[in-house]
Amino acid sequence: MQAPQRRPAPETETELQQRYHSLAGQRIADIAGELHWPVPDNLHSNKGWQGQLLEAALGCDAASKSEPDFTLLDIELKTIPIDSHGKVLESTYVCIVPLSHTPADAWQHSCAYKKLKRVLWIPLMSESVDIAERIIGTAILWTPTTQQMAMLQSDWQEFTSMINLGQLQDITSKHGDALQIRPKGADAKALSETINAQGETIQTMPRGYYLRPGFTQNILKSCLY
Amino acid sequence: MQAPQRRPAPETETELQQRYHSLAGQRIADIAGELHWPVPDNLHSNKGWQGQLLEAALGCDAASKSEPDFTLLDIELKTIPIDSHGKVLESTYVCIVPLSHTPADAWQHSCAYKKLKRVLWIPLMSESVDIAERIIGTAILWTPTTQQMAMLQSDWQEFTSMINLGQLQDITSKHGDALQIRPKGADAKALSETINAQGETIQTMPRGYYLRPGFTQNILKSCLY
DNA sequence: CAGGATCCACGTGTGGATCCTA
DNA sequence: TAGGATCCACACGTGGATCCTG
């Protein structure tokens, strides 16, 4: 009957490593128990619950926007659902797509770049229907290879150019090799502003950048056995 | 033990008139009782409570920003605290002050103009410490006279020019004849962005436009006996 | 199986204003 | 007495992601 807790922020990368090593092999129930978090029966009514639990367990301190989760270490945390064969089960949300006036040469100042330049991936065996019994995998602290970074930048620049030309409506989830753009909002009625090809302001559904499963699969592949 | 209620939006000005006529002379307790709103002992912990009660009683439908409270009728609602002699006891909050890039020629597109071009004033005898026993006065549906509108516009344009020149720091509550600028935020630590005289972006306290008591006193004067 | 739709938490900002002290 | 400070409610947007049909 204690209040939910969270751990303090790690101050060094070594400290962070110790923590995520200690998580590997644990069940969600173990981690939730230590922090006094009640485990829900399913995720229908809080799809981000597992991610938030792991943030609390590792001591993420960014409640703020567009900041990496570990502000001191400049590292982003992502939980990634996999099956028992190590196969990635979902795409990974990165950040919202800015729909107005983004300089297309500003990749290194973009939200997507900041989120992806260094990521701690926590694989989560998600085949068990029972959330409590799901097992944490071996975490990977990833920095994109030159090739991977080039793919991301290339996709991002194409998307950004199209949006600046008012062609957002022409972008589908099929575009992009590593990144894709998909809806992101409360529901299909949510609205944001952008411009059309005539430069007029119009209302449209908010979108997010997502990493394709194939891309994240490649990141994890080297480390699964 | 019923849930708090609110009335539907009035569809015509006549309907609105009927409603606010029926409020005159009633106690806060009467109105709150009909809507099943519990009356607080004081306003320390919800300074806007009375205004929100009257919004519910009259059927304001704008939960949205920068819209008049009665969206169909394009009318704004303001409760105004007075003493037993009809003296206005407080300044009246209008809207927040935009701290970046407002064209100084855009008075008629400004938030302040939209809020003030037609206002239903509900005087509230506020000398009683007992909130429940406070009495609603005779409401006034006001459109600014040419003179009043000129004062408002003049004040607004001077403020807007100064802000665009980066002189926000030089504006005090002493400036302005009808309007004044005062702090508006959670507390003294709240921050917004503006520019200084060198054009650099700086952090400053958020501000609001307020009507001086003398100005609202003149509006009410013609109708009090 | 993947594109389109959706769900909760929570921080922030605006709208409703009044409080409080020099 | 009025200028500066402050209080709550609630809508909205972003961050955490997964759901669910053709």
The per-residue pLDDT for range B106-165, each reduced to its tens digit, is: 999 999 999 999 999 999 999 999 999 999 999 999 999 999 999 999 999 999 999 999
Least confident of A67-71, A179-183, B119-123, B173-177: A67-71
Query: Is 60 exceeded by the pLDDT of residue B43?
Result: yes
Question: Which pLDDT value is given to residue A216?
Answer: 98
- Give the CA A65 to C1' D14 distance in Å: 7
pLDDT digits (tens, 9 = 90+) for A70-79: 999 999 999 9
Note the CA–C1' distance, B112 to D15, in angstroms. Answer: 34
pLDDT value at B223 more than 70: no
- pLDDT at residue number A164: 92
Residue type, B45: S
Residue range B11-28, pLDDT digits in tens? 999 999 999 999 999 999
C1' nearest to CA of B62: which nucleotide? C15
Q: Give tens-digit pLDDT for A41-65.
A: 999 999 999 999 999 999 998 776 6
Give yes or no for CB of B107 within 7 Å of strand C: no
Proximity of residue A61 CB to strand D below 7 A = no
Q: What percent of chain A has pLDDT over 90?
A: 80
- Model confidence at A209, pLDDT cuts 50, 70, 90, reads very high
The closest of A28, A23, A44 to A130, measured between CA atoms, is A28
Distance CA B81, CA B127 (A): 9
Helix or strand run (H / E) with residue A138? none
Tell me, in Å, how far CA of A4 is from C1' of C2? 36
pTM of the model: 0.87
pLDDT at residue B225 in the model: 44
Residue A186's pLDDT is 84
Where is average pLDDT lowest: A49-53, A113-117, A211-215, B5-9? B5-9
Is A135's pLDDT higher than 90? yes
Whether B40 sits with its Cβ under 7 A from any strand D atom: the answer reads: no
Please state, in angstroms and as integers, the Cα–Cα distance from residue A209 to each residue in A124, A125, A187, B141, following that order.
Answer: 21, 24, 17, 50
In three-state form (DSSP H/G/I as H, E/B as E, the rest C), the secondary structure along chain B is: CCCCCCCCCCCCHHHHHHHHHHHCCCEHHHHHHHHCCCCCCCCCCCCCHHHHHHHHHHCCCCCCCCCCCECCCCEEEEEEEECCCCCECCCEEEEECCCCCCCCCCHHHCHHHHHHCCEEEEEEECCCCCHHHCEECCCEEECCCHHHHHHHHHHHHHHHHHHHCCCHHHCCCCCCCCEEEEECCCCCCCCEEEECCCCCEEEECCEEEEECHHHHHHHHHCCCC
Q: For residue range B62-80, what is the model confidence (pLDDT) as tens digits?
A: 766 667 899 999 999 999 9
Name the average pLDDT for chain A: 93
Closest residue by Cα to residue B112 from B90, B94, B99, B91: B94
Average pLDDT, integer, range A78-93: 97
pLDDT at residue B180, rounded to an integer: 97
Residue A225's pLDDT is: 44
pLDDT, position A65: 67
CA of B162 to C1' of C22 (A): 29
pLDDT of residue A224 exceeding 60, the answer is no
